Amino acid sequence: MSGKVEAGAAGVAGRTYPSVAFEIEPERAAAFARAIGADPEAGVPPTFAAVYSLGVTAPQLFGDPDAAVDFARLLHAEQEFRWTRRPRPGETVSSQGHVASDVSRRGMRFVSFETETTDSAGEPLCRSRALFVIRP
């Protein structure tokens, strides 16, 4: 029965959370740049998407009682970002999170969480895909 896939005890696959707006404060983007060894004068660091995209939507998943994610047992296993363009400092963006899949295998739970970020005109900016593993 290897490779058997079963629904998680509290599977929330398919769930979409309300869109969240976020203003990219220039000071915060610069502090983030310094923390990752990038030039704070060079604009919004690409992986500031960890804040404006994943960072604003993942708490909705973690706070969802139906999802029942044990934060202390959560591992971030994989992360992908795809950018259409880099946001500008001071820009307000909107992000919407979606649970692409939620499966349990041999006691480990795997949640694939996708976030779409758009600009104020509704044009795509960034897509995030995180794979979270929740240890037993």
Q: Which residues bind other proteins (CB under 8 A)?
A: 28, 31-32, 34-38, 42-43, 45-47, 50-51, 54-55, 71-73, 75-83, 85-86
Separation between Cα atoms, residue 25 and residue 117, nearest integer Å: 16
Give the bridge partners for 111, in sequence order. 102, 132
Closer residue to other proteins, CB minimum distance, 11 or 114: 114
CB of 132 to other proteins, least distance (A): 11
CB of 4 to other proteins, least distance (A): 23
Closer residue to other proteins, CB minimum distance, 7 or 36: 36
Closer residue to other proteins, CB minimum distance, 82 or 92: 82
CB of 69 to other proteins, least distance (A): 12
Sign of the Cα torsion 65, 68, 73, 76 reads negative
Separation between Cα atoms, residue 135 and residue 22, nearest integer Å: 31
CB atoms under 10 Å from CB of 76, counted, come to: 12
Closest to 116 in 3D by CA, of 13, 17, 44, 14: 17
Closer residue to other proteins, CB minimum distance, 14 or 73: 73
